[in-house]
Structure 1
Amino acid sequence: MPVIVVANPKGGVGKSTLSTNIAGHLAQLGHSVMLGDIDRQQSSKLWLQLRPASLAAIQPWEVDEQFLAKPPKGVTHVVLDTPAGLHGKQLDAVMKIADKVIIPLQASVFDIYPTREFIAKLHKGRRSDKVQLAVVGNRIKEHTKATEHLQEFLATLDVPVLTLLRDTQNYAHLAAHGLTLFDVAPTKVEKDLAQWAPLTAWLKG
């Protein structure tokens, strides 16, 4: 049972958006999915409450931010949304259960440098080389200096960069109704699904 953690010490980088859409993707594939949220804002938990019962089911993982127990039996995939400022014992606890860690990153100098330090901590904290790390560029605006700087930074990392997700209102509009890209007609979100393809392929690996 893979545990997929979405983490970055910076706030506002899109952790909850990634977490909910990853959970939605896995649920659409027919997996038994649980979504946990140890962020005090509880954005992913709120999103679950908005999710229509008619859609592919995603169970809430009721987990304490200070104590991460193993998910119950019968679940095939777990997605964990984490808070800003993740560090110390809480980060250690997360890394003990993680199989894959996705690090969302925006094109901002205020996000780039803390993320480099965070990735170094993840390398030290992971329990084995089997824990996979990857970066996803988020809310990317094409043809901007900030994006150019981000791409230069990404080229220096020693972890794979899966994809760059564009800055679009699709995510916010869908989230307001408990939906993901994978719950609507593909033609409505065709460009976004194409950007997600490398990420969904990595999740299968």
Structure 2
Amino acid sequence: MSVIVLLSSPKGGVGKSSLSRNILASAVQAGKRVVGIDLDQQSTLKTWSERRERARVAIPGLPLIPVFAAPLSSWREALKKAQAENPDLIVIDTPPSVEQNTPAIASLSDVATIVLVPCQPMQDDVDSTAPWMRKLLGASARGIFVLNRANRRTKSYSTIQTKLLAVGPLCPLEIPHLEEIHFAAGKGLGVADLSKATSRETFDGLWSFVARETGL
């Protein structure tokens, strides 16, 4: 049975696709068989996967990360296709505006092993993501906040961290704003694929957390 990690948030631009591809890259570097599913019309994760396929020509040994794209309404068919690959891990990237797609996202949350809810250290993000987390937890889904693009040295960091913890579980490792994330993505890579990445420990830590929480 494949582990399913769902990235979901009602707020756009919080880093769902960025976290999705880096979890996939870290997992495959750890020797896991992985598949991604892109349910967002912008197809950010699918486009990254296509860049990665081209990069494999120039980088011998770069692990393949297949990504299936589908409309949100067809998530069941996409999941069956992904499961047919017999992966250890399936990572699903979803569109924002969950309020407009509540039945589909709720059904996805039911089948997910964990649901990661990215949130930036801003009050607007808390206002948007906190109600969604409450719905997830109320439906017995395993929702976990991930504080993204965070800076520990700012006052807002601890303030937002406290507010998120008052609502639901929070990943103990925050993701800073890192230029290497964008550099890697532009080449179809994850930070874990960069041999000299100074931020690799961050994503090694995120992967360790995900692996522990899902039993991988």
TM-score, normalising length: structure 2: 0.84
Say which of 97, 122, 128 aligns to 1:85.
97
In the TM superposition, residue 184 of structure 1 has moved relative to its aligned partner by 1.2
In the TM superposition, residue 157 of structure 1 has moved relative to its aligned partner by 3.1
Alpha-carbon distance between aligned partners in 2 of 1:24 and 1:153, rounded to the nearest angstrom: 30
Provide structure 2 residue ranges, at least 5 long, that are not aligned to the other structure: none
Alpha-carbon distance between aligned partners in 2 of 1:173 and 1:158, rounded to the nearest angstrom: 32
Contact 2:191–2:203 under 8 Å retained in 1: no
- Report the counterpart of residue 127 of structure 2 in structure 1: 113
- Report the counterpart of residue 171 of structure 1 in structure 2: 181
CA-atom RMSD, angstroms?
A: 1.7
TM-score, normalising length: structure 1: 0.88
Alpha-carbon distance between aligned partners in 2 of 1:124 and 1:79, rounded to the nearest angstrom: 23
In the TM superposition, residue 197 of structure 1 has moved relative to its aligned partner by 4.0
Alpha-carbon distance between aligned partners in 1 of 2:205 and 2:182, rounded to the nearest angstrom: 22
Aligned length: 198
- Report the counterpart of residue 11 of structure 1 in structure 2: 12
Task: Looking at secondary structure, tell me which structure has more helix per residue.
Answer: 2
Matched, 1:195 2:206: no
Once the two structures are superposed, the pairs formed by residues 64-103 of structure 1 within 5 Å of their partners are 64-69=71-76, 70=80, 71-73=82-84, 74-87=86-99, 88-103=102-117
Provide structure 1 residue ranges, at least 5 long, that are not aligned to the other structure: none
Once the two structures are superposed, the pairs formed by residues 6-85 of structure 1 within 5 Å of their partners are 6-51=7-52, 52-53=55-56, 54=60, 55-69=62-76, 70=80, 71-73=82-84, 74-85=86-97
Alpha-carbon distance between aligned partners in 2 of 1:155 and 1:98, rounded to the nearest angstrom: 22
* Matched residue type, 1:147: Y
* Matched residue type, 1:148: S
